[in-house]
Amino acid sequence: MSSMTEHKLIDVTLQIGSIAESNNHYTAALAARIDAAGKPLEQHTIAEFIALDNQQRDFFNKRGNV
C-alpha cells in the first residue's frame, strides 16, 4: 500500500468514525441529506458519502449547532 493511500484510508475512517460520536441533531440531518440524495446509503461510493458528510458538517458548523 502506498503511503498516500494509507494516509487517505486513515483520514476516511476517522471521518466516518466521528459520525458515531456526533449528536443526534447532526446525525438526523446527515441521514436526511443522504435520503435526499436519492439512493440508499450502502449504494453511495465512499467519495459520495464523504462529500455529503462534508456538506452537512459545513452547514451544521455555520449554524453554530456543534
Nine-digit cell string for 45: 461510493
The Cα–Cα gap between 27 and 32 comes to 9
For the segment 28-60, what is each residue's pLDDT rounded down to a tens digit? 999 999 999 999 999 999 999 999 999 999 999
Say if residues 54 and 61 touch (Cβ distance below 8 Å): no
63 — pLDDT class (breaks 50, 70, 90): confident
The Cα–Cα gap between 43 and 27 comes to 18
pLDDT of residue 66: 46
pLDDT of residue 2: 80
